[in-house]
C-alpha cells in the first residue's frame, strides 16, 4: 500500500527536528450540503530544521519516530500566485 501524502502549512518550528503542520480539508456536510472546512495538526520530522512557520510543505507517512511524530517532510511546495 502506498504511503499517504498530505499538504499543509507549518504553524510551529520551535521544537528541535520537529515541525507542526496544519492540514486543511474541505467537505460537504451530509445533511445541510454546505461546504465545511476542518483542520488537523500533524507533527512531522524535519531533520535539518530548514522549514519555518508559514512554509507550505508536503508530508509523508512514516514509521513512529516519537510519541507524536508519524510523518516526515518530503518537500517544500512552491507558492503560485
Positive or negative torsion for Cα 64, 66, 70, 76? negative
Q: What is the distance between the alpha carbons of residues 51 and 63, in angstroms, rounded to a whole number?
A: 21
* Residue of 61, 76, 62, 66 lying closest to 17 (CA atoms): 66
pLDDT in tens, the chain (81 residues): 899 999 999 999 999 999 999 999 999 999 999 999 999 999 999 999 999 999 999 999 999 999 999 999 998 877 655
**Could you tell me the residue ranges of all domains in the chain?**
5-76
pLDDT (0 to 100) of residue 27: 97
pLDDT (0 to 100) of residue 80: 59
pLDDT (0 to 100) of residue 47: 93
- Model confidence, pTM: 0.87
- The answer as to CATH 2.40.50.140 being correct for domain 5-76 is yes
Which phi and psi (to 5°) does residue 50 adopt?
-95, -15
Amino acid at each position: 500500500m502506498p504511503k499517504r501524502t498530505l499538504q499543509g502549512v507549518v504553524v510551529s518550528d520551535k521544537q528541535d527536528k520537529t515541525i507542526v503542520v496544519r492540514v486543511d480539508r474541505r467537505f460537504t456536510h451530509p445533511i445541510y450540503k454546505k461546504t465545511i472546512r476542518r483542520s488537523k495538526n500533524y507533527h512531522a520530522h524535519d531533520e535539518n530544521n530548514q522549514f519555518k512557520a508559514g512554509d507550505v510543505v508536503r508530508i509523508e507517512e512514516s514509521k513512529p519516530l516519537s510519541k507524536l511524530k508519524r510523518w516526515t517532510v518530503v518537500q517544500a511546495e512552491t507558492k503560485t500566485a
